[in-house]
């Protein structure tokens, strides 16, 4: 982690009107240093340091609320989280990209360049969000 990232993490927290704490900075560093999406247990295991379980839950919830991260649905037990692009905000998410879950290595990644296609539902439904999760085998595992 270089100094530039530290500065941007600070700015990110400040922009979301969140106080700057060790836990929040370290969790954001973990997100920035990892390619894929992280699941909850990662935060307790990683970083040589133990975060308290409760603090991690609360921090992730706060980041979700503020639009700093987004959650990725899964059919296993663990929800995954990934950083939002910088143009997301509290009430205006637009992470309209596809997520990919590799069945070999287990990694979940955001395919930023692959847009979610438009979905047309029968009349009467109000659409707030569309999640697309593709599973298969990623480049590295083939």
Binding residues for a copy of itself, per CB under 8 A?
71-77, 79, 98, 100, 103, 111, 113-114, 117-122, 124-139, 142
- 52 or 112: CB nearest DNA: 52
92: partner contacted, choices a copy of itself, DNA, none (Cβ within 5-8 A by kind): none
Check if the beta carbon of residue 55 is closer than 8 Å to that of residue 114. Answer: no
Q: How far is the CB of 56 from a copy of itself (least distance, A)?
A: 15
- 42 or 109: CB nearest DNA: 42
Q: Residue 62, interface with DNA (CB under 7 A)?
A: yes
Give the helix/strand (H/E) hosting 4.
helix 3-15
Please give the Cα distance from 31 to 83 (Å, whole number). 7
Q: Which of 123, 108, 120, 114 is nearest to 38 (CA)?
A: 108
Q: Residue 6, interface with DNA (CB under 7 A)?
A: no
Which residues in the 26-55 window bind DNA by CB under 7 A? 40-41, 51-55
Residue keyed to tokens 């503020």: 66
Stretch binding DNA (CB under 7 A), from 15-23, 92-100, 106-114, 120-128: 15-23
Residue keyed to tokens 């975060």: 51
Please give the Cα distance from 59 to 117 (Å, whole number). 31
- Here's the x/- map for DNA, 101-120, by CB under 7 A: it reads as --------------------
Would you tell me how many other CB atoms lie within 10 Å of the CB of residue 120?
8
């Amino acid at each position: 982690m270089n100094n530039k990232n530290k500065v941007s993490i600070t700015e990110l927290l400040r922009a979301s009107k969140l106080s700057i704490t060790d836990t929040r900075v370290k969790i954001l560093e973990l997100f920035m240093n990892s390619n894929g999406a992280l699941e909850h247990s990662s935060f307790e295991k990683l970083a040589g340091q133990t975060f308290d379980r409760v603090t991690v839950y609360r921090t992730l919830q706060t980041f979700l609320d503020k639009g700093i991260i987004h959650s990725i649905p899964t059919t296993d037990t663990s929800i995954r989280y990934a950083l939002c692009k910088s143009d997301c905000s509290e009430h205006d998410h637009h992470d309209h990209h596809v997520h990919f879950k590799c069945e070999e290595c287990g990694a979940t990644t955001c395919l930023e360049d692959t847009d979610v296609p438009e979905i047309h539902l029968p009349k009467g439904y109000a659409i707030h969000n569309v999640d697309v999760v593709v599973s298969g085998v990623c480049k590295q595992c083939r």
